[in-house]
Amino acid sequence: MSDLRTFPTTRDAAEHCAAQILQYLGESPQSTLAISGGSSPRTMFEIFAATPFDWNRVQLFWVDERCVPVDDAQSNFKLANDTWLTPAKFPAANIHRVQTERDPQDAAEIYADELRLVFGEGIPKFDVIHRGMGPDAHTASLFPGEPLIDDREGLTAAVYVEKFNSRRVTLLPAVLLAAKHTVMLVTGADKAEPLNEVLYGPHDPKKFPCQLTERDGGDVAWFLDQAAAAKIKR
């Protein structure tokens, strides 16, 4: 049974999502968290910044990143840094960003090495992975048709997203599926139809990559606003 939590507004969904993540992170003295970008987590990051929490106990990674300079408006790191990390004085030594100033393939390999330094060998098991979903049902930087959706051994990869003419680095399915807790923040009317397909449509992750979470993953909680939940049939 899906753990679907629907809230009246986008802000309500973000607030409850933030509270759940903080609860999970507070369950152990040292925790690991991977966050996503896009526009939907801005409010969540602002809540993190305003909430008293010992961020020294958290090792922070990114689910995916656009290969742009760190001060570019499209940078997932910049969004988190401006709205949360700098205001909250998040410890710099605990921030593990993708090194987008490097060649994308090199950046992906360095990022995998960074994961191994924190987690050791094997598939990393994050305490919490926060993710979103695009209007095409993509998640992380795994878009419909991406061959890496079938990969269950790799940690990271450089990918090219043709529809956006965008080079990116993303965590791969093995890492996404291994998380102890996955928290999905999905808002907006353009997510309503794909969300229904992800939850109740035929199992086809190549077409609906977000099904990697819903059908194949472990503990998953969805935080939705009413617009995103409008077409859920069950």
Domains, the chain, in order of start with CATH, read 3-225 (3.40.50.1360)
d(CA 218, CA 192): 23
pTM metric for this prediction: 0.96
pLDDT at 175 over 90: yes
pLDDT at 221 over 80: yes
Number of Cβ within a 10 Å radius of residue 165: 7
Q: Residues 9-20: pLDDT tens digits? A: 999 999 999 999
Helix then strand then coil, in percent of the chain rounded to 5, is 35, 20, 40
- Return the bridge partners of 62, or none: 35
pLDDT at 107 over 80: yes
Tokens at 31, concatenated: 């925790």
pLDDT for position 189: 97
Q: What is the mean pLDDT of residues 186-208?
A: 95
The mean pLDDT of the chain is 95
